[in-house]
Chain A
Amino acid sequence: SRRLCILKGIYPHEPKHKKKVNKGSTAPRTFYLLKDIKFLLHEPIVNKFREYKVFVRKLRKAYGKGEWSTVDRLKDNKPSYKLDHIVKERYPTFIDALRDLDDALSMCFLFSTFPRSGKCHVQTIQLCRRLAVEFLNYVIASRSLRKVFLSIKGIYYQAEVLGQPVTWITPYAFAHDHPTDVDYRVMATFTEFYTTLLGFVNFRLYQSLNLLYPPKIDGQADIELKPVEGQEYAMDSESYLEKLSALSASLARAVAPAHEEEAELDEFPVEGETAEQMDAKKKEQEALEKHKKLFEGLRFFLNREVPREPLAFIIRCFGGQVSWDKSLCIGATYDVNDPSITHQIVDRPRVEQQVVGRYYLQPQWVFDSVNAKLCLPVADYFPGVLLPPHLSPFVTEQEGDYIPPEKLKLLAMQRGENPDEESEEEEDEEDDNDKEEEEEEDESEKEEEMKLKKMEEQKTQSNKMLPVKVTAGKLRLEDKQRLEQEQQSEEKRLAIMMMKKREKYLYKKIMFGKKRKVREANKLAAKRKAHDTAVKEEKKKSKKARRA
């Protein structure tokens, strides 16, 4: 009955007056609404459950008596049920289903990584794997991936499916022991329902993209050429799924697309929007289009030690072509020695033979480029280089919060500035300074000096009786600004004085909270400085050691 509750989406209820419901005792128990249970009983699956119970009893008896023919006969007629109508009942429209897709996807991806021992039905695991692969292929075909985040727990993806942002987590492919405090039956029940839901959603999504469902790989010539090869990797029955899961082939379309010219969409001014908002929307659209074609034209090759599936998925999602070593997996389109490879992803400390014209990069480059929405400069990601930190794209900073300098650089890059050159110049200058003085002049000090110089110049100028207009104008501007500021601060002070005690108390509390944030940001900045100086000193020491 708990299984039925989970399948139907009926959740336990927390009563407001526990004593009343529990007939006087306050022992904590699980409660369900009576109305919900009565609703449950209308479900046709209840009969199937009863049949299953009877079936289990008969089977056990036959086993016990040793009647093997009976056992076979019973197993052939095993009762089964389908959950389609429950899906339709719980999600009357497609959009409702999309909203609940997060959880379903995470569960399916999780179950597809389980080992095929007897703990959960092997069929469930296979079905989960098939659905996961289909969904990945859909995302590739529709280019809907937006964010990736590598965490210590797993990989978080966010895609935008028909306007709905869908976030899910995929565990890493390395085997890990299963925790014992998890109830597998409950999880299996959830997964049953979610697999059904995901199957229907997949069908609808494929339909919306005009692709065949169940998915077929485009280009029959490939299939004819490679049956021999296929046998090395997997049995015939499974080779199709394996090829699909390689994520390297494009899918066949249901209706052959006629070659349409892309007509420019007419711009209908939406009421209530100003021209600025429309421009902003246009810009967003353009940025999105650019983002979708991030890796177009680039050919990647994945080395053996690099996690193949996530990288292949991401690269293909943004238009790139990817291949890997033949011994890894089926579906490798080109070899290591292909001259047209532009980027090779390696994860070793040193790469022996480097082919000219190829970039050898660590895998973090791919993820960071996707999050930054542009191809980052490759110099930071060469093998053996200390990588810049992998920032989370799911964190949105508000004003007043601390923004790490790496993120500032990233934002600057996105805006189109070239902080690389500036940073290089700064480093050269600093090196020079180091060589000369061994003291670092902070930028702020430099600026202060400049300011002082300006002030002196102004004074001398005013003494020399140069045209007064300029200086007077400046003074007035400053006065105005300062006057305004002073006025505002005075008004503020007056208002604070006039507040009642209660309001003042609240105001002080809020300000304290804000100041605390600022203080913490300053603390973090100071820590960062200390860290940077420490790193720099280490660098210097290592340099000196190398020289000596």
Chain B
Amino acid sequence: MKELICSTIERNVVLKCIRDHKRLDLRTIDETRSINIEFHAHPGYVSVTLGQTHVIAQASCRITKPKESRASEGHIRIHLDMSKIPLINLENWKHQEFVQELNGILEQNIRHSNCLDLESLCINSGELVWSIKIDLIVLNNCGNILDCANIATLCSLYHFRLPEVSVHGSEIRVYSSTERRARPLRILHFPINVLFAFFIDGHYTLIDPNSDEERLMDGFFSISMNQHKEICGIHMGGKLGLKKEQVELCKKLAFKKVLELTDRIRQVVTDYYKTIEPITHAQPSIIRIDNDEDEDDDSSSSSESEDPVLIKPEIPPSPIENNVSLLLMPDLDNLSLTDDVSTMIATNVDKLTSDLENDDEHDNE
């Protein structure tokens, strides 16, 4: 499925409006569209709409071995899925490139800015840690997927509840949501992303372009900041060259938006949990278990894999457990540990390069 080609007339009309500092949907240059955040019963599931752009996010967790170099830190991964929407820019490879670019920006903003306290995800230092994965699915692309996905990720992380774990020597026990209430993740700050679109050789700029404006922009500049005025990530995409004053102006504009949004996200999630407090049985979080056989079973310590670990993923609390349904996940007695070798290597390299980038940014501050 491909998007419709932008006609010359459309292009001329939009560019003319921009030259007159006007927009077709009657917004001002620095006005974002209205944001709607909705939660459902499953923890970590959020549906965010930024105008008509619609992104859903789902957080899930898994117990894995930590990296050798960071023995007491958990992992976080973000995966953006845009395979169900019509192809952007009419060609599959351009669409894939765009997806990878956005995925990279999101990872940089969330992971490398340390917004989630990874040490709080540690269960047993050097042996077992939580690994959080956020799956984002774009349902409708009406411009500015990046901001929408960013808000969805943050809301999902803040909404997600991690199951309680207790460690007894070498065996661990994971409690279901009925036994012990799951606890929230430790989020240190909210890096909010603001996207600026530039037109006509970088002379004109807009915040939060809609789909027509996004198709015609020269390039975009995305800046991710938190409410403490710290820059968590900067990215320039497309064919763009900017002056220093333009960047400074973008920073100022972005900061105003960031303050409003941070309060909004916090408010929305706390309101949601206030309303469902009276319900005693909350829905359980998604815990992924590996069913396949491990080739390196010998390497993982035998005591951990043999001890029964009580996990009941995705089975809602019910007094009579005679569900013979195929779609629900079966009870598992063993927790198999996986070595996330390939992803660990990839993330190591990323961390090194981005650490350098972060240092540069802090120096420029």
Whether chains A and B associate is no
Interface residues of B (CB under 8 A from A): none
Residues in A lying within 8 Å of B, measured CB to CB? none
